[in-house]
Amino acid sequence: MSFELLMRDCAAHEDQRQRYAEALEAEEVRLTRETLEQAKAGQYDRLREAFDFRDHDAIVFRALVSCADKGAPEAKEALDTLARWYGEWHAEVDE
Per-residue pLDDT of the chain (95 residues), as tens digits, is 688 888 988 999 999 999 999 999 999 999 999 999 999 999 999 999 998 899 999 999 999 999 999 999 999 999 999 999 999 999 999 98
pLDDT score recorded for residue 1: 66
Could you give the 3-state DSSP secondary structure of residue 91?
A: coil
Q: Taking a C-beta distance cutoff of 8 angstroms, is the pair 64, 75 a contact?
A: yes
pLDDT score recorded for residue 55: 93
Calculate Rg over the CA atoms of the chain.
24
Instruction: Please give the single-letter amino acid code of residue 38.
Output: Q
